Amino acid sequence: MKDVNAQVLLAQIMRWSDPEEVGRNVPVLQLLADHKYNQYQQFGPGKQFIESLALWLQQFDHEDRAEALSFVRDRLVFISEQEIAHLVQLAYPDVIVQERLKLIAEESGIPPYRVGQLMSLPRFEQLRIQSLYLGLSDGAHTNDLRRASNGAISNEQIWQAYELGEAKAEDMLEELKASLKSSSVFHPGAHIPPRFSLIWLVDDFSGSGNTYIRFDTKDRRFKGKIKKIYERIYSGDLIDPDYYEVYLLLYVATRQAIDHIEYWSERFTSEQGFKPLKLHVLCPIEKSIALSQSTDPALMSMLSKSKYYDDRASDRHISVGGTESARLGFANCSLPLVLSHNTPNNSVYALWGPEDYQFFGLFPRVSRHRQT
């Protein structure tokens, strides 16, 4: 739909008869669309933001449409692909290299501010080669991270999955042995264990942290990706169990997720006798961003109406977060957040409801799970 037609439809739905009212609203919305919102990758073919907004607002009763539009204008947080790309560019020099320098400074007793001296040590090169990078989802941007490292991360050190088959693990070990053998910084005959030591788990976003680590009260055991990674350390010969560090690198995460991961990963690793997880978040989203009854009473009241929700969203995957309803998002995160490639289900349902549901979202989400 052409922008001008979508704007006319929007004005009709909002009943803007005064040209000044149209002038106050449409240019701002069009600017937001052009700058960010048209980049949403899950819009249907030919659809852009203004059209999606008009059709979304049409679902609300007329008395609620102004509140819904205010939500979009004043509270929505949209993280674009360019912004994620910028965080990926920062990850290697600002986090990964700094962690390696910190480890070597502790081992050698050299002050951490003597960066040149630390980087000249063979150990700096050794740990670069013995670093393993695992993507935790399709949003991990592992290829972009490799390119941003300017050759410091090779194809043989990176894998777009946190579970490695035996054949792939053997290939990575063979390449690791070759890289250690061919490096010019080691003296001939130096014995260096051909195992990975620094494990970097990489993902783009966490809203609750449950996917990474949680304690299942029904089964009385820990679950999640972090648990599986630690078990992998001791179940094969890919990682050196005598010297390892595990890092979780998230480009974006909420404070709720950060607190959850730190609390439960500490309990898990201490209980199992593992080395603690080290968490790094490049862009934290503080609790003040989330919607709440105290800061957004009218909006929260509107979103609580049953007509603005589809019960099909309350599936078994949502229940993992400890709630039966997805109205306020997974684990009641209540986020007004959209990522350019997909809206997280930690956001309020009104943003991400699938297009074929009775009430669909402004930025419809494509789920990772089959609906059963």
Residue 370 predicted with pLDDT over 50: no
Alpha-carbon distance of 321 to 325, in angstroms, equals 10
**What are 339's strand-pairing partners?**
79, 342
What percent of the chain lies above the pLDDT cut of 90? 64
Per-residue pLDDT, 53 = 94
Q: State mean pLDDT over 246-256.
A: 96
- What does the pLDDT read at residue 286? 94
Q: Looking at the chain, how many residues does it have? A: 372
The whole-number average pLDDT for the span 118-143 is 92
The pLDDT of residue 170: 80
The confidence score (pLDDT) of residue 155 equals 86
**pLDDT band per the 50, 70, 90 thresholds, residue 88:** very high
With beta carbons less than 8 A apart as the criterion, state whether 19 and 8 touch.
no
Read off the pLDDT of residues 187-245 as tens digits, 9 standing for 90 and up: 655 667 788 999 999 999 999 999 999 998 888 899 999 998 888 877 777 888 888 99
Q: Is the pLDDT of residue 345 over 80?
A: yes
pLDDT at 184 over 70: no
Under the banding of pLDDT at 50, 70 and 90, the label for residue 20 is: confident
In this prediction, residue 271 carries a pLDDT of 93
Query: Model-level pTM?
Result: 0.89
pLDDT, average across residues 153-172: 79
Query: Looking at residue 1, what is its pLDDT?
Result: 46
pLDDT at 340 over 80: yes
Mean pLDDT over each residue of the chain, to the nearest integer: 89
Tens-digit pLDDT profile for residues 281-321: 999 999 999 999 999 999 999 999 999 999 998 877 777 77
Span 78-92, mean pLDDT? Answer: 95
Q: Taking residues 62-85, report their average pLDDT.
A: 95
